[in-house]
Amino acid sequence: MEPGVDQLAALNVHTPRRLAEVAEIAAELNNRPRKILGWDTPADRFPRLVNERRSPLCCDDR
Alpha-carbon distance 19 to 27, whole Å? 12
What's the pLDDT tens digit per position in 4-61? Answer: 667 777 677 678 888 899 999 999 999 999 999 999 999 999 999 988 877 666 665 5
Q: Does pTM surpass 0.85?
A: no
pLDDT given at position 17: 85
SS3 labels along 22-41: HHHHHHHHHCCCCHHHCCCC
Please report the pLDDT score of residue 25 as a whole number: 96
Q: What pLDDT score does 34 carry?
A: 97
pLDDT at 41: 97
